[in-house]
Amino acid sequence: MDALVLIGSFVLLMLIGLPVAYCLGLAALIGALWIDLPLDAVMIQIGAGVNKFSLLAIPFFVLAGAIMAEGGMARRLVAFAGVLVGFVRGGLSLVNIMASTFFGAISGSSVADTASIGSVLIPEMEKKGYPRPFATAVTVSGSVQAILIPPSHNAVLYSLAAGGSVSIAALFMAGVLPGLLMGLTLAALCLWKAHKHGYPKEQTIPLRQALKICVEALWGLMTMVIILGGILSGVFTANESASIAVVWAFFVTMFIYRDYKWRDLPKLVHRTVKTVTIVMILIGFAAAFGYIMTLMQIPMKVTAFLTEFSNNKYVILALINVLLLILGTLMDMSPLILILTPILLPVVKLMGVDPVHFGMIMMVNLGIGLITPPVGSVLFVGSAISKLKIGVITRAMIPFFGALLSGLLMVTYIPWLSLWLPRAMGL
């Protein structure tokens, strides 16, 4: 009955249209009243939820990504990817995916990835003879990589939701191979479609121009080197790397590229603060919600139910994948990480699944949810840029869903993909 009151009130509040963060907070209060817990305890948990040093990485990574997204980095990464793969048949679709890979390693955000890369490449692909639904589907699908390739603020949220027991650095490195794998599956599909439909090749870029493009892109790509190199070498922590990334992104944007106007900088900071405020409210309320769940022993009850259903690790992982894919289509990624990690992590740990590996499984599943109707936020961004209806884009994305699901199966059932790099780095 306790679980029904807590979860039921959360679902009911969502159905009447309240924002997810407030649904979590109000449901936590209702659950506390139901079990006669003093409301002061809920307030303490909300405060404790955001009073964590590791959370400083989130606003810095968001700000660094925003600066690079609006400062001309996307256009330069597109040009750089064009040098590498543009000459292949269907090369612009490969450029799209590769640019998403590079930009994801800077922004860590699927929404920023789709908005930045899509605004450059969707019109360009259409001009070169690609169908607009196909161009949009490539852009939207390619953004899933941004969630996995470091630096990912979702990895920070997962570490927080896991009680701080999972290293952020390990999660960052664990996302490299799964992120590249998702990109490769999409690239293979694009190559097949390019040969089937006769999509065009791009002209080979002259050497002098190619060198200029590479040098310009290198300044932005150094952001990724600074973040990962600093963490792995032990020179600075994840929080420190995020703050240094902001300084570097600001320097490159304002003094090297000089595409962004100083008068627009306060507006960018204001938008970033609004985004971070929403995330922090969500984290605080999710902490209280998780605390009430723990008092009601919901995670233990879920663990007992699933282990009674089957003691086969692969069956349990398949069930969890189905659950995450369904929920990912109905809710945004961040609240689902904060809500579901305390529930599902004990289950998979009991089955012998490494918490770092499970983090990658969860992020791939929920990343696919971001591009799936009815609540796929990245899908809406793609629709706004391309000016196509959601249904048209969704139909074009069906084969891309197949490619991403094949990648999900490999990430789920080949732990080596997620664990080899962190272990090789001693994380």
Considering only residues 223 and 323, tell me which one the structure prediction assigns the higher pLDDT. Answer: 323
Least confident residue range of 53-57, 328-332, 412-416: 53-57
pLDDT at 109: 73
pLDDT at 242: 78
Q: How confident is the model over 179-204, as a mean pLDDT?
A: 86
Q: How confident is the prediction for the chain on average, in pLDDT?
A: 83
Is the pLDDT score of 223 beyond 80?
no
pLDDT at 214: 83
**409 falls in which pLDDT band (50, 70, 90)?**
very high
pLDDT at 181: 93
Q: How confident is the model over 218-234, as a mean pLDDT?
A: 76
pLDDT at 312: 85
Is the pLDDT score of 267 beyond 80?
yes
**Which are the contacts of 100, defined by CB distance < 8 A and separation ≥ 6?**
113, 117, 139, 142, 143, 145, 146, 183
The helix (H) or strand (E) run that includes residue 302 is: helix 298-309
pLDDT at 408: 95
The encoded tokens of residue 407 equal 């990648």
pLDDT at 185: 94
**253 falls in which pLDDT band (50, 70, 90)?**
confident
Least confident residue range of 120-134, 146-160, 231-245, 358-372: 231-245
pLDDT at 407: 94
Neighbours of 59 (CB within 10 A): 20
Considering only residues 250 and 104, tell me which one the structure prediction assigns the higher pLDDT. Answer: 250
Residue ranges making up the domain that contains 138: 2-424
**84 falls in which pLDDT band (50, 70, 90)?**
confident
**299 falls in which pLDDT band (50, 70, 90)?**
confident
Is the pLDDT score of 263 beyond 90?
no
Q: How confident is the model over 400-417, as a mean pLDDT?
A: 94
Q: How confident is the model over 368-383, as a mean pLDDT?
A: 82
Distances (CA, A) of 172 to 203, 283, 411: 36, 20, 15
> Max Cα separation, the chain?
73
pLDDT at 271: 82
**401 falls in which pLDDT band (50, 70, 90)?**
very high
CA nearest to 108, candidates 78, 70, 68, 80: 68
Q: How confident is the model over 266-281, as a mean pLDDT?
A: 82
Nearest-angstrom CA–CA distance, 95 and 309: 45
Is the pLDDT score of 281 beyond 90?
no
CA nearest to 396, candidates 193, 198, 200, 196: 193
Distances (CA, A) of 262 to 251, 265, 288: 12, 5, 40
Nearest-angstrom CA–CA distance, 343 and 341: 5
Could you give the number of structural domains in the chain? 1
The encoded tokens of residue 67 equal 């600066």
Least confident residue range of 19-23, 72-76, 170-174, 179-183: 72-76
pTM, two decimal places: 0.82
Is the pLDDT score of 111 beyond 80?
no
**Alpha helix (H) residue ranges in 73-131:** 73-85, 91-107, 110-127
- CA trace torsion 37, 41, 42, 43 (10° rounding): 150
Is the pLDDT score of 23 beyond 90?
no
39 within 8 A of 26, measured Cβ to Cβ: no
117 within 8 A of 125, measured Cβ to Cβ: no
The encoded tokens of residue 373 equal 């109707």
184 within 8 A of 142, measured Cβ to Cβ: no
Is the pLDDT score of 386 beyond 90?
no
Question: pLDDT, tens digit, for every residue of 325-340?
Answer: 888 887 778 888 888 8
104 exposure class (CB count in 10 Å sphere: 0-12, 13-18, 19+) = buried
The encoded tokens of residue 254 equal 């304002």
Nearest-angstrom CA–CA distance, 136 and 43: 44
